[in-house]
Amino acid sequence: MQKEKFYVTTPIYYGNGLPHVGHFYSSIIANTLYKYAKISGKKARFTTGIDENSQKAVIKAEEQGVPIMEYLDTMANEHKKVWDFFNLDYTDFIRTTEKRHHTLVQEVLTTCHKRGDIYEGEYEGMYCVGCEAFKKDDDLVILDTATNKTLPLDVKGVPEGGGIGQYVRVCPDHLKEPDKIKEKNYFFKLSKYQTWMQEFYEANPEFVVPKFRFNEVIAFVERGLEDFSISRETNTFGIPLPFDPSQVTYVWFDALFNYYTSCKYSPHPQPLSQGARGVEIDGKMFYDESDVWPADVHIVGKDIIRFHAIYWPAMLASYFGLGEEREGVLHYVETDREKLPATILTWGYFTVDGQKMSKSLGNVIEPVSYATEYSKELLTLYMLSAIPIGNDGDYDRKSAIETYNAKLANNLGNLVNRVVVLSLKLPSPHPSPLPLGEGIDGILMDNRAIIDWEKINNWLWDVYYTEVDTFVSHYDLKWALDISFYTLDKINKYTDENEPWKLIKTDEEKTREVLYTIAEWLRQVGMCLYPFFPEKMSEMFHKLGLTDYETRLENGELHTLRSETPVFEIKEKGEPLFMRIEVEK
Ligand code: ME8
């Protein structure tokens, strides 16, 4: 039987800086969704990487006096080091300077050109190198160079009383005046896709999540789509247009197709496609994994939503030849869906302790050093549980520590510790038909006839699993975490009510039952939390004496494991699972 598939991507980050917490956020969402799909037995794929064909990188390399490729190789390694530190389980790390990507983009450009969707023209206007985007007047804000503050967006023209050159129009994100440009360019006929796009949105109301961001996109499209420039004459670094090599394609037409290159020319054949034939490009083998296309979810920040929600479907429509022309107008047809990404999941911007993250304020959270100082799980937990995906959010450092202490160190960590310590105090188990080994303390066996099994079962199967699976499939990771910690609260309550630390002095049999019950709850919640905190949950399974859990989950056995009757062969106390962190005053 064909396995269900799941394909998730992060934006490819610009390689001219190191990843900060904003990048970490999309990567950890992607990793969690990927892991959840994988343990659920899906054919899962997770692509991340870096966006290299940009003017910004060329400028940086020149500033440092190193050849561009040497600079990019160093940066690609630095990026990988960050993701490897967090053990992110990406299937593919793509670099847009790779030959496989050049091959694909040139094939796309040729196809779209032949279809008549790319034409030659002249561009005159403004270009922001920081955004790698052309700007219109409306896109800019006014900067008061005397105070270095931007004026409200609704201020029209230059306020009175300013000195000469005091007020300049700048890009709101980079606070720099865009370059004035006049050059020959090639344009993409986005306007041809106006009706098609509106019909596509209409038929797919969940294309952009959350809804309020989709509404912004829809309103933008309703104002009318304009053709956009896809090439630059003055840039020399990038992918040349196959039909006019004096021009290189400018960043978006190139960058967005990374998501497809990664499947079409995959460095690894996935288990399901054994026998897939490889092609050799630049001495490396690549495999056609395009059966995982389209992406199930692209994770993107709000600043790049228009590119993903408008340009991207239109480019794909042009490449794949989607739509049906009737009386000179292109219309959307239901089967187009099979080639288009299912969801664009967007998030907002973070501030740190209520302030904009900026180098000059010294409040940029650098994920590796922050996680080294505190804990990886603290960062993941706070990012995924304090900020609902979609909204702008604040990273409140004090509250991050408090959340970690309450949920991971106290709630989960203490429970594990209790079960382990008390189990080790129990004498060797009673004879059992199970092959347990002899004379080992701390073994908890199944005893479902007399423990509170029904209660657990009802909650787990009727509520918890359904809710977690549903939340995750709607990309609602906050709620998946919240219900898991709510379940842990229930186990803590059960533990407090049964007081196994007292019971152990009087009733060994009943203690065994209570501890088994707690351990079983922990096993079940641990499997749902595994995609969020894989290292710590593996450690917890190990403490509970469950062998092979990590391997079996990674092999997609979540559903089998949920129904299994485990034996907990607890052997040693070891270090606490989560150390408490002191809150800084
Ligand atoms: O845009 N809070 O790359 P990028 C939250 N190469 N998110 C933030 C943030 C903040 N303070 N700062 C940045 C690019 N981001 C392109 C993508 S994809 C085909 C090409 C987010 O490195 C930002 O919103 O500038 C963006 O989505 C992502 O980080 C990557 O940004």
Q: Which of 440-454, 478-492, 494-508 has the lowest mean pLDDT?
A: 440-454
Where a domain ends, among 372, 389, 413?
372
pLDDT at 165: 66
Angle at CA 283, nearest 5°, toward 281 and 289?
Answer: 45
Specify the amino acid at residue 178: P
Say if 402 falls within a structural domain: yes
Q: 148 in helix, strand or coil?
A: coil
Comparing C-alpha atoms, which of 294, 295, 339, 292 is closest to residue 317? 339
Provide the 10 A C-beta neighbour count for residue 512: 24
Q: Is residue 13 lining ligand 1, measured as CB closer than 6 Å?
A: yes
Residue 14 Cβ contacting ligand 1 at under 6 Å: yes
User: Of 27-36, 313-322, 350-359, 568-577, which range is least confident?
Assistant: 350-359
* pLDDT value at residue 450: 39
Which residues on neighbouring strands pair with residue 285, listed in sequence order?
A: 280
90-111 residue pLDDT tens: 999 999 999 999 999 999 999 9
Position 386 in a domain: no
Domain that residue 512 falls in: 397-563
Residue 433 in domain: yes
Nearest residue (CA) to ligand 1, atom 22 = 13
pLDDT of residue 357: 77
| Residue 352 and residue 466 in one domain | no
Q: 166 CA to middle of ligand 1, Å? A: 30
pLDDT score, position 364? 84
Q: Atom 18, ligand 1: which residue's CA is nearest?
A: 11
Ligand 1 centroid vs 51 CA: distance in angstroms? Answer: 11
Q: Whose CA is nearest to atom 9 of ligand 1?
A: 22
Are the CB atoms for 140 and 172 separated by under 8 Å?
Answer: yes
Q: Which CATH number do you get for residue 506?
A: 1.10.730.10
Q: Cβ-count burial of 222 within 10 angstroms (0-12 exposed, 13-18 middle, 19+ buried)?
A: exposed
Domain count, the chain: 3
Q: Dump pLDDT digits (tens) for 457-485.
A: 777 777 888 899 999 999 999 999 999 99
350 C-beta closer than 6 A to ligand 1: yes
From the alpha carbon of 252, which atom of ligand 1 is closest? 19
Closest CA to 55 of 167, 200, 174: 174
What is residue 75's predicted lDDT score, i.e. its pLDDT? 96
Indicate whether 284 belongs to any domain.
Answer: no
pLDDT tens digit sequence for 307-350: 999 999 999 999 999 999 999 999 999 999 999 999 999 988 88
Q: Are residues 43 and 105 in the same domain?
A: yes
Same domain for 484 and 406, yes or no, is yes
CATH number, domain with residue 214: 3.40.50.620
Tens of pLDDT along 110-124?
Answer: 999 999 999 999 888
Taking residues 202-218, report their average pLDDT. Answer: 96
The verdict on 56 and 44 lying in the same domain is yes
> Which residue, judged by its Cα, is nearest atom 8 of ligand 1?
22
Please compute the mean of the pLDDT values over residues 536-559 and round it to a whole number. Answer: 95
Distance CA 213, CA 345 (A): 10
Same domain, 225 and 320: yes
417 and 360 co-located in one domain: no
* pLDDT interval class at 436 (50, 70, 90): very low
In a domain, 122, yes or no: yes
Nearest-CA residue for ligand 1 atom 7 is: 22
Q: Is 357 in the pocket of ligand 1 (CB under 6 A)?
A: yes
- Measuring from atom 16 of ligand 1, which residue has the nearest CA? 13
CA of 298 to the centre of ligand 1 (A): 13
In testing the pocket of ligand 1, which one of 21, 257, 349, 384 has its CB within 8 Å of the most ligand atoms? 349
228-242, 454-468, 485-499, 554-568: the lowest-pLDDT one: 454-468
484 with 468: CB under 8 angstroms? yes
Same domain, 328 and 440: no
The predicted model gives 52-61 an average pLDDT of: 88
Q: How far is the CA of 350 from the centre of ligand 1 (A)?
A: 11
Q: CA separation (Å) from 364 to 12, 17, 140?
A: 20, 13, 25
Does the C-beta of 305 come closer than 6 Å to ligand 1? no
Banded pLDDT at 449 (limits 50, 70, 90): very low
407 lines ligand 1 (CB under 6 A): no
Q: Is the pLDDT of residue 387 over 50?
A: yes
Pick 87 or 348 by higher pLDDT: 87
Predicted pLDDT at 378: 97
On the question of pLDDT at 521 being above 50, the answer is yes
Q: Could you tell me the distance, in angstroms and rounded to a whole number, from the CA of residue 344 to the centre of ligand 1? A: 14
515 in the same domain as 427: yes
- The verdict on the CB of residue 98 being under 6 Å from ligand 1 is no
Lowest model confidence (mean pLDDT) among 131-135, 179-183, 316-320, 328-332 = 131-135
pTM more than 0.95:
no
pLDDT for residue 441 is more than 50: no
pLDDT at 162: 56
Checking if the pLDDT of 447 tops 70, the result is no
Q: Are residues 427 and 533 in the same domain?
A: yes
Looking at residue 2, what is its pLDDT? Answer: 66
The verdict on residue 167 lying in a domain is yes
Question: Strands, E, within 63-159: which ranges?
Answer: 92-95, 118-128, 133-135, 141-144, 149-150
As given in the structure block, the two tokens for residue 140 are 């800019």
Distance 187 CA to ligand 1 centre (A): 25
Task: Give the span between the Cα atoms of 512 and 339, in whole angstroms.
Answer: 55
- By the 8 A CB rule, do 239 and 377 touch? no
Q: Compute the distance between CA of residue 386 and CA of residue 391 in angstroms, rounded to an integer.
A: 11
pLDDT score of 438: 35
One DSSP character per residue, 135-146 reads E-GGG-EEEETT
In a domain, 388, yes or no: no
Which of the listed residues 51, 347, 355 should we mutate to test ligand 1's pocket, taking the one with most ligand atoms within 8 A of CB? 51
To test ligand 1's pocket by mutation, which of 303, 351, 382, 387 has the most ligand atoms within 8 angstroms of CB? 303
Give 301 Cα–ligand 1 centroid separation in angstroms. 6
Q: What's the CA gap between 418 and 426, in Å, rounded? A: 13
**What value does the mean pLDDT of the chain take?**
88
Residue range 224-241, pLDDT digits in tens: 999 998 998 877 789 999
User: Is residue 22 within 6 Å of ligand 1 at its C-beta?
Assistant: yes
Q: Is the pLDDT of residue 435 over 70?
A: no
Do residues 368 and 422 share a domain?
no
349 lines ligand 1 (CB under 6 A): yes
Ligand 1 contact, 51 CB (< 6 A): yes
- The answer, yes or no, to whether residue 505 has pLDDT greater than 50, is yes
Q: What is the average pLDDT across 349-375? A: 85
Cβ 11 under 6 angstroms from ligand 1:
yes
Contact 5, 42 (CB under 8 A): yes
Percent pLDDT > 70 in the chain is: 90
Considering the chain, what percentage of its residues have pLDDT values greater than 90?
A: 61
My answer on whether 346 and 461 are in the same domain is no
Cα radius of gyration (the chain): 27
CA–CA dist 88, 66 (Å, integer):
30
Considering the domain architecture, whether residues 448 and 481 belong to the same structural domain is answered as yes
**Residue 273: inside a domain:** no
To test the pocket of ligand 1, the residue of 300, 306, 353, 363 to mutate (highest count of ligand atoms within 8 Å of its CB) is 300
- Best CA proximity match to 209, nearest among 419, 7, 473: 473
Q: What is the pLDDT of residues 394-424, one digit of tens each?
A: 889 999 999 999 999 999 999 999 999 998 8
pLDDT of residue 543: 94
**Mean pLDDT lowest among 211-220, 543-552, 576-585:** 576-585
- Closest protein CA for atom 4 of ligand 1: 13
In this prediction, residue 440 carries a pLDDT of: 39
Find the range with the poorest average confidence among 134-143, 284-293, 443-452: 443-452
